[in-house]
Amino acid sequence: MEIVAILIITILLVLGMPKVKGFIGEASVRLYLYRLDKEKYKVFNDVLIPLPNRKTSQIDHVVVSPYGIFVIETKNYKGWIYGDSKRKYWTQVIYKHKEKLYNPIWQNYGHIKALQEYLGIEKDEIYHSIISFSTRATLKKVDPGDSKSSVIYSSRIVSTINAHKQVVLTTKEAQQIGMKLEKTLNAAGDKKKQHIKNIKDTQRFNQYKINANMCPKCGSDLVERKGKYGNFVGCSNYPTCKFVGKTKQANM
Ligand SMILES: [Zn+2]
């Protein structure tokens, strides 16, 4: 009985952690987007758009279709949300406590700008901005004004997208955009792989030097030493250089 109680409390605590909350918020939008007609809509999650300053712009979801490009920012705030298109900060009221959040319409506008630049397609009319709040929040007084952004609950994401019926891209154009977005996903994966490869290359090169009896740190000769836990190599330049490593390895 006690164990069950502890388990329930633990689960509740884990679910309450901000990272987990964010993940759940994003995951549910991902699931909703799964319901879109796959023939017409191509969904990209967690898109990293490269920026000219070598930074990246992270977009939660991008949906490409003949009806345009839907750029979706998900928000997982709790409490009452107030804001409009013109104010720099919106307000979250929770337990009589006020917090401010950067205007998500402006934030998503930045994402669209980055996407426009990356795709080389300026036309504003093909981009649709959607700010999706989880149902944990209550959108009290949220006015998108003339920003053309939709500020909605995540449960309405599919109907909001489906409401756009005007064809603004040819099937071929939509495909080309999709291919270009595919590249950003691959590039993000490649970066991770490259990072791992760099670490492995360094390790391999260090081992190569050790096998050549050269200290990888300072280039001095290495000497075999005996320690409590077996043999190892150390730098002959000790104590100036404190390099120690495993003895020569035949397999590299
Ligand atoms: Zn050394």
The pLDDT tens digits of the residues spanning 130-170 come to: 999 888 888 888 788 877 889 999 889 999 999 999 999 99
Task: Give residue 245 CA to ligand 1 midpoint distance, Å.
Answer: 11
Binned at pLDDT 50, 70 and 90, residue 252 comes out as very low
Neighbours of 76 (CB within 10 A): 19
**Is 124 in contact with 64 (CB distance < 8 Å)?**
no
Which pair of structure tokens corresponds to residue 78?
């709790």
pLDDT in tens, 217-230: 898 999 988 888 78
Residue 127 carries which DSSP code? E
Task: Give residue 195 CA to ligand 1 midpoint distance, Å.
Answer: 26
Task: Give residue 13 CA to ligand 1 midpoint distance, Å.
Answer: 49
Cβ contacts of 189 within 8 Å, gap of 6 or more: none
pLDDT in tens, 4-18: 777 777 766 666 665
How high is the pLDDT of residue 73? 93
Task: Give residue 213 CA to ligand 1 midpoint distance, Å.
Answer: 11
Task: Give residue 197 CA to ligand 1 midpoint distance, Å.
Answer: 25
Which pair of structure tokens corresponds to residue 80?
């009452």
Binned at pLDDT 50, 70 and 90, residue 22 comes out as low
Peptide bond just before 216 cis, omega within 30 deg: no
Task: Give residue 72 CA to ligand 1 midpoint distance, Å.
Answer: 53
Beta-strand ranges (E) seen in the chain are 42-50, 56-65, 68-75, 79-84, 89-94, 97-102, 127-133, 137-143, 149-153, 222-227, 230-235, 244-245
**161-170, 173-182, 203-212, 214-223 — which is least confidently predicted?**
203-212
Burial label, 97 (beta-carbon count in 10 A; 0-12, 13-18, 19+): exposed
Neighbours of 149 (CB within 10 A): 22
Task: Give residue 196 CA to ligand 1 midpoint distance, Å.
Answer: 25
At residue 112, does pLDDT exceed 90? Answer: yes
What's the pTM?
A: 0.67
**Is 128 in contact with 64 (CB distance < 8 Å)?**
no
Task: Give residue 166 CA to ligand 1 midpoint distance, Å.
Answer: 68
Task: Give residue 243 CA to ligand 1 midpoint distance, Å.
Answer: 5
Task: Give residue 186 CA to ligand 1 midpoint distance, Å.
Answer: 40
Residues 174 and 69: their CA atoms lie apart, in Å, by 9
